[in-house]
Amino acid sequence: MSITTARLQELLQQFQRQRIAVVGDLMLDRYLYGAVSRISPEAPVPVIHVQHEKAMPGGASNVAVNIRALGGQVAICGLLGRDSAGRELREILIKHGVSTEGILDLAEVRTTVKTRIIAERQQVCRVDWEEKLRLDEPALDGFCKRIAVELKKATGAILEDYGKGVLQQRVVDAALGATLASAIPVGLDPKDYSLHLAGLTLATPNRKEAFAAAGLAETPAAPDPLHDRALLEAGEALLKKWLPKMLLITLGAQGMILFTAEAPPHHVPTRAREVFDVSGAGDTVIATCILALAAGATPVEAAEVANFAAGVVVGKLGTATCSPAELLDAVAGHA
């Protein structure tokens, strides 16, 4: 481990001076929590007695609140419907201190809502309301203009693709062109593997996504990622395909592996103490990594800090965030 608590404290001070623009699919995550005491007489399913519920930012919105939780400033660019869910999500983002001027509200769009039903700390099912976006030219023009405005004020950017239609090639081109002009780091959490990504600083696919994007059949994970020939082949293929300065493949219980053109692959083992829910862990990784790079961290430092932050959030139930104090405690615990 190369990151120290002293170095982390330096980076955390710099986090407060960063403004990250997040572009991508916005979602509202709704959670219903309850208890089970009987089986339904109508079907062999549990009856959930709901005790409380909460709504949280999901998708690219969760990336934004992760940045705010770590002390960074953030503006979000995305599309919302002119519906109750869209209004609720915007209000939640504002309460978190996220700038929402880059959000475009459209009458023809339905805000994506994912409702998770939790019983006895276990997710029973998830119900999704969503539609694939189809934007006309005026809407696309207006959205790209908002992205350009926000990126001019940013010190870093994140493209968060959940496959809902926001990150089409024209939007990606507008964002990457603006980040290249400003010479700021830009990261991508990919879902569409056909996108052209010239100018990318960081890509953060998980293992399954990495194999799919590389056009390779996924194989069972080897005990040591640095001796996992198929994984190493996928990483090298993506370095050539996307040309990012950093490729960070997340590996679940095995942590993550960092690829760069300048150095051999670097394995960062997991730092999770206890795993309750992996929802949103990938959001935490890219949010922390880009924030750290914007603050002056090296690729290895950024990967290690992101790994510690992800270890904190998987110990919480639901999409969650990591605070500077929690991050410092996590690093100190492994010093």
What residues form DSSP beta bridges with 248? 258
283 carries an active-site annotation: yes
In terms of Cα–Cα distance, which of 33, 67, 50, 23 is closest to 280? Answer: 67
Determine which one of 25, 29, 228, 283 is catalytic: 283
Q: Which residue has the tokens 């089986």?
A: 39
Contact between residue 131 and residue 46 where contact means Cβ atoms under 8 Å apart: no
Cα-Cα-Cα-Cα dihedral sign, residues 48, 319, 94, 112: negative
Strands (E), 143-227: 156-160, 186-189, 202-203
Contact between residue 233 and residue 189 where contact means Cβ atoms under 8 Å apart: no
Q: Which residue has the tokens 């998987």?
A: 314
Q: Which residue has the tokens 């919302």?
A: 80
Dmax over Cα atoms in the chain, in whole Å? Answer: 63
3-state secondary structure of 226: helix
Q: Report residue 249 as tokens.
A: 């493949």
- Which residues are catalytic, by number? 283
